[in-house]
Amino acid sequence: MNKEEAQIQINQLVKELNDHNYRYYVLAEPVVSDFEFDMLLEKLTTLEKEYPEFLLPDSPSQRVGGTVTSEFASARHTYPMLSLSNTYSEGELREFDDRVRKLLDAKYEYICELKFDGLSISLTYENGLLTRALTRGDGERGDDVTTNIKTIRSIPLRLVGSGYPELFEVRGEIILPRPGFEKMNLDRIEIGENPFANPRNAAAGSLKLQDSAEVARRPLDGYMYYTLGETLSFKTHSESLEALASWGFKISDKTALCGSIDEVIGFINKMARERDKLTFDIDGIVIKVNSLEQQQALGFTAKSPRWAIAYKYKAEQVTTQLLSIDYQVGRTGVVTPVANLKPVQLAGTVVKRASLHNADIMAKLDVRIGDFVFVEKGGEIIPKIIGVDLGKRDLFAEPVVFIETCPECGTKLERQEGEAGNFCPNEDHCPPQIKGKLEHFIHRKAMNIDSLGEGKIEILYDNKLVKDIADLYSLTYDSILNLEKVFKGNDGAKDKKLSFKEKTAENIINGINTSKSAPFERVLFAIGIRYVGETVARKLALHFKNIDAIIAASNEELQVAENIGEKVAGSIFTFFRKPENLVLIEKLKSAGLNMVADKQPDLLSSNLAGKSIVVSGSFGSSKRRKELEEMVAMHGAKLAGSVTSKTDFVVAGENMGPEKHQKALKLGIPVISEDEFLEMLK
């Protein structure tokens, strides 16, 4: 293939893949399978690596992230991002309508939209290409999160259709849909990390992550609802929404044109009944005057527009009785108290249980068995107890004391300094911890043994066929054939019988054998070391190259690796000081698992061998910065994310972070330019 043919093919693949992205993430009408899409994307990325001069700014390969942003630059909004006036009452809505009627003295209509519970964002498009994304910030200035926004597949990198202005701004909300949020939290609990409080916080935190590759792995979504520009030709807000949809943006279909405030209130009440059926959180309804000319006539106050108001729903709350408290042991040994409640209807579901999180929160709430408690869902997925109705408390109710021993194995619980959770240290013999480690090991993001799903691990454990993760590789077809167990149905559901028939047994053994080809970084994640998630496992594999080097590393040497702090290093170091864990690693080696990282590209030179280098600031483009960061690694050095006493020098571009600069000066670390860095490589 010559260069001309490569360019044509790259352009065709970008166009085709962007169309598939739009159909899948915006229209929800995919026309190819995930596998077919991945094959096309792999073909594109291969061509782009071979012919980097033809990489397009809207290439879908840019959505996978990879850029690490040490600091987010602040930038001024072209148009201030004002907040809306809020109300919780119908009376104040009618007062708003009275003001609009008096100021306009003409016929008008409202458009009602969902008030998404997420993070406000402002996107700038030039000639159809996304060029900048800013958070709200203080309304005048926001953080530039363009690199992270590009990873969200429902946000177009290049607009479709025609008729869009050369330069304009679109505003919307970045959200985390509930299904993705629930799965993210399950994954975090699996690796011993604290779950996010709610989707809004998770979305906001995700956009400020420094590693865009990590942002790309989070199921963020974006809905747009407002357009700004000097050359817009719309007469109404509803027309602008239709235009945004035609240009490839994701627009909510839950809107309503209302000719009166009574119709507005009707829509608010309708959505209050339906909001629990949505796949994402809303906290109210936004009401706007539809005519843009009338919006201009109404104008603004110092803080908000006079032509719009937000009606906010009150967080749904009920009172019910606390019947008892159970204590659950997780994979990492953390013990979580769970309140058993008298069943009560809340937000469209029957609530019977609520997390009490940990001993500190239990003590702060001072919940007692028999108390009538206030339970709220609000933005939370899992109901939480927010208080106690002391007026209904039994005079003889006694304070609840957090248990001192593990409810499963009887081991005395421990609590580490600086952590909220009490945990069972008997990780090798506590049944829920063992089963939890096994379930984590087979997880899709770990060893990906799909054939060992829900319930099957429990059958193997109950039959004493597996007591640790390495035992999975000793299983045979004959040893598992015809195993079975009856699982009791909850809440009146039928009992479920699970049997290992011929095909099931064959699939399990095949899945276990296939997992032996998993790369080292996934094996490292699957082992289940506390605080070692996917990203940390990848960084460890990249830095140390093999399991023996990690085992031999001191606490200080572990912290030299990127993204490995004192807490994580301490956990890794402690894990490999236990003889039983070293025996486990030897068993996994004998089973044939990968304990060595894939071969890295050959170094161009060893000019920078052993050095720790920080790259900070901008160098004309994100692509150029990435090239410089790659040069650091290709000449034998370690690319560090922050300035420490171990940093050898900083390569500084424009707008270098002031904190990094001051720290480098304080520590006497050289700060050099791009040209000086390139000269050093010669």
Q: Judging by DSSP bridges, how do beta strands 308-312 and 86-87 pair with one another?
A: parallel
The secondary structure of 401-447 as a DSSP string is PPPSB-TTT-PBPB--TT----B---TTT-HHHHHHHHHHHTSTTTT
> Contact 560/612 with Cβ under 8 angstroms?
yes
Question: How wide is the angle at C-alpha 632 spanned by C-alphas 630 and 636, nearest 5°?
Answer: 115
User: In what order do the strands lie in the sheet containing 221-228?
Assistant: 129-135, 119-126, 167-175, 221-228
- Print burial letters for 199-211: b (CB count within 10 Å at least 16), e (below 16): bbebbbebbebbb
Tell me which of 3, 102, 107, 115 is the catalytic residue.
Answer: 115
Q: Give the phi and the psi of residue 430 in degrees, each rounded to 5.
A: -90, 115
CA quadruple 193, 198, 200, 205: dihedral, nearest 10: -10
Contact 640, 613 (CB under 8 A): yes
Amino acid present at 385: I
Comparing C-alpha atoms, which of 348, 346, 345, 371 is closest to residue 356?
371
Lookup: tokens for 596: 């060595």
Find all residues with CB under 8 Å of 580, minimum gap 6, and list them: 428
Cβ count near 221 (within 10 Å): 22
User: How far from 621 is each of 227, 504, 625, CA to CA, in Å?
Assistant: 27, 53, 7
> Any idea which residue has 């912290």 for tokens?
559
Residue 445 annotated to the active site: no
Query: How is the beta sheet containing 671-672 ordered, strand by strand?
Result: 638-640, 612-616, 649-652, 671-672
At which residue do the structure tokens 């956990």 appear?
571
Q: What values do phi and psi take at 319, rounded to 5?
A: -115, 135
**114: Cβ contacts below 8 Å, ≥ 6 apart:** 223, 252, 254, 255, 271, 278, 282, 285, 286
Using the 8-state DSSP alphabet, how is residue 601 labeled?
A: P
Q: Which of 347, 344, 367 is nearest to 355 (CA)?
A: 367
535-540 contacts: CB < 8 A, separation 24 or more?
535/211, 535/214, 535/563, 536/563, 536/564, 536/568, 539/563, 539/564, 540/564, 540/572
- Give catalytic residue positions: 115
